[in-house]
Chain A
């Protein structure tokens, strides 16, 4: 009886998960259909899958540049952000300089602002300094946008590492650099991973900033998705479904592998624990 109940219970949970996944499944399914099959009424569940959409996708040279940009911008920005944030978080956590709370507050408020309000003054500044459509400056902007998040996550973790480690290290003659990178850093690895993954997903999915302060050279895949919605005349469903299917593999694989960091990542490190 309990076995049956357990099966039923788990069956319901699985059903709920599948319901949430269904629209995504529909996108993936569509990516193997022809345009006419996608638009067919009644919707086709059985069809002979075609890989033409993917072939067409990669037949376009621009796509590789856009993928490269997506990878470069998100990786680069997040690496810069995590390094910078770690140093700052260490400082906030250990030395508690005056104004720590205020700075932490300001940092967070950047992330709380609607996108166009963030990018508007930055755009004007980029116009004035000629920084638009540059990999470096776009990367740095993304880094700055990833910093608040990372500082918050890492400070939470650093607060949890006992200062006794630092003291032992110092007594044993280690330099502060040694302590920071060799003693403390390894202990906050979960925080680093969480900061890394969730900023990466954010930059990976980011569209507006890329559209406004990026350009020909720096366009990423979300940009391509937005621009490629229409093909000659109609809506380009084959492109949208194929591109989306490929592009979401990375975030979904990440939340599978790094599931235990999900909570930390999604809450600025303010909530810890596993699900």
Chain B
């Protein structure tokens, strides 16, 4: 059975939620007289004159999430003027590591506690499979506004589809996000530094976006090394190594993919033999090797810690999510930071980069009553209006639709926009599994990577074997895969 078939077989529930989604529209949808179809019709909105309170669950301490909320009064004005109903928003939040927990404990009770949720991309499966979130296929069909052309297939794969490769849509991109390299431009431009670097390496330091776009890790390492000066409390580089949530995983996948590895086979659910190759083990060792350019304590660096070391001027460069651009470049660093694509791995013509996708989709609670469902759909319609998308970008967000990203002025709105667009192109960024068991699989791998980078486990191959075997067992137990862990697995441990 393929994964998709298995999924069909497994979930009567899923079909139920599709029906429910259909019903929510259906109330609305028939021949344009229904709730949703009516958005364009002249007749009065079914909620006209009513007062609705919406609850959004978003990610605490995550700029783009708060932006979505900060912009919600604009939506309230919009619907007041257009449909004559009043809507107020309550924003609930939880940190990355706890948000899925918060959402799932609530949705498991079929609660309407959160009407719209900003989900992380890899949760799509875990939220869709039990039928907790609304299947959006019918909604999109009924709402021309939502039939957008996205910037790349990566957008659709990352934020919208589950199971991978199917045509089932469960989310719409709220914030697009890619890995970017944040570099201290003012340090690069310092004539003394330039002279010193040239004297040492016989070539100038890269200066421009174009220089960096062509840079390989080997070339970049010279820079990282050059700026690593522990006696001055300054280091050359930082990336995430933290055990919390997916921090180490995303940063390591940059290495794994760029160096030609894969994490699993999405159709058969095979992990063992794909993840634990000697090449991937070597990538893990390479990922760890970069610690020597990072400040002490780097094995605990996550998103927030990374922002702190960069903003406090402790590091020259950092691979960080484009979405935290506003926090990485506060007022005092304006004009002093260059945001470029992370360096390529490999050498010469073979050098390539495949980095992790970040970002979050909006998902809609499947248990919303008709009124809240209607507002949620109006909200989605409004969110993807060209004006809204532009406003979002201007406030520091990263929209994903082709129209906005293709605007001639888009590249200049934020310092990271050019890199964002560049990295969003197909083949440059991708997401990891969306499987409902992602949380268990992730926990295993976070522990493994964290153990390796902190010297608790010393053999990268053994770590990869352990992870692959444990993940294979999880997928087998959950029925996602038919492949059993091999005999070798009995001996693996962390």
Contacts and interface: CB of A to CB of B under 8 A. Distances in A.
Whether the complex brings A and B within 8 Å at their CB atoms is answered: yes
Interface of A: 36, 39, 41, 123, 126-127, 130, 132-133, 211-213, 215-216, 226-236
A167 B53 CA distance: 61
Given A215-B106, A227-B93, A234 B233 contact: no
A39 B308 contact: yes
B111 interface: yes
Nearest to B57: A216
A126 to B, nearest CB: 7
Contact of A132 (B62, B94, B109, B307): B109
B50 interface: no
A229 B304 CA distance: 9
Interface in B38-83: 55, 60-63, 66
19 contacts: A123-B105, A127-B108, A130-B111, A133-B106, A133-B111, A211-B102, A215-B106, A215-B111, A216-B114, A227-B94, A229-B304, A230-B60, A230-B304, A233-B324, A233-B326, A233-B327, A234-B305, A234-B308, A235-B61
Closest 7 pairs between A and B when the two form their complex, measured CB to CB = A233-B327, A230-B61, A234-B307, A232-B63, A233-B307, A235-B304, A127-B109
Contacts, number: 79
Interface in B156-211: none
Query: Chain B, interface size: which category?
Result: 20 to 34
Contacts of A231: 61
Contacts of A230: 60-62, 95, 303-304
A245 B468 CA distance: 45
> Looking at A215, A228, A232, which has the most chain B CB atoms within 10 Å of its CB?
A232
B90 interface: yes
Contacts of A126: 109
Nearest to A236: B61
Given A127-B108, A216-B90, A229 B95 contact: yes
Interface in B87-111: 90, 92-95, 98, 101-102, 105-106, 108-111
A212 B95 contact: no
Contacts of A211: 98, 101-102
Nearest to B106: A215
A232 B61 contact: yes
B113 interface: yes
A173 B322 CA distance: 80
A190 to B, nearest CB: 40
A213 B108 CA distance: 11
Contacts of B62: 230, 232
Nearest to B325: A233
Nearest to B328: A233
B106 A232 contact: no
A234 B308 CA distance: 6
B282 interface: no
Interface string B289-327: 000000000000001110110011000000000001011
Contacts of A212: 105
A234 B60 CA distance: 11
A123 to B, nearest CB: 7
Contact of A234 (B92, B109, B327): B327
A132 B233 contact: no
Contact of A228 (B55, B60, B66): B60
A191 B63 CA distance: 50
Nearest to B312: A39
Nearest to B95: A230
Given A232-B61, A232-B324, A232-B326, 16 more contacts: A41-B233, A126-B109, A132-B106, A133-B106, A211-B98, A212-B105, A215-B106, A216-B92, A216-B114, A227-B60, A227-B94, A230-B95, A231-B61, A232-B63, A233-B307, A234-B308
A36 B311 CA distance: 10
Contacts of A236: 61
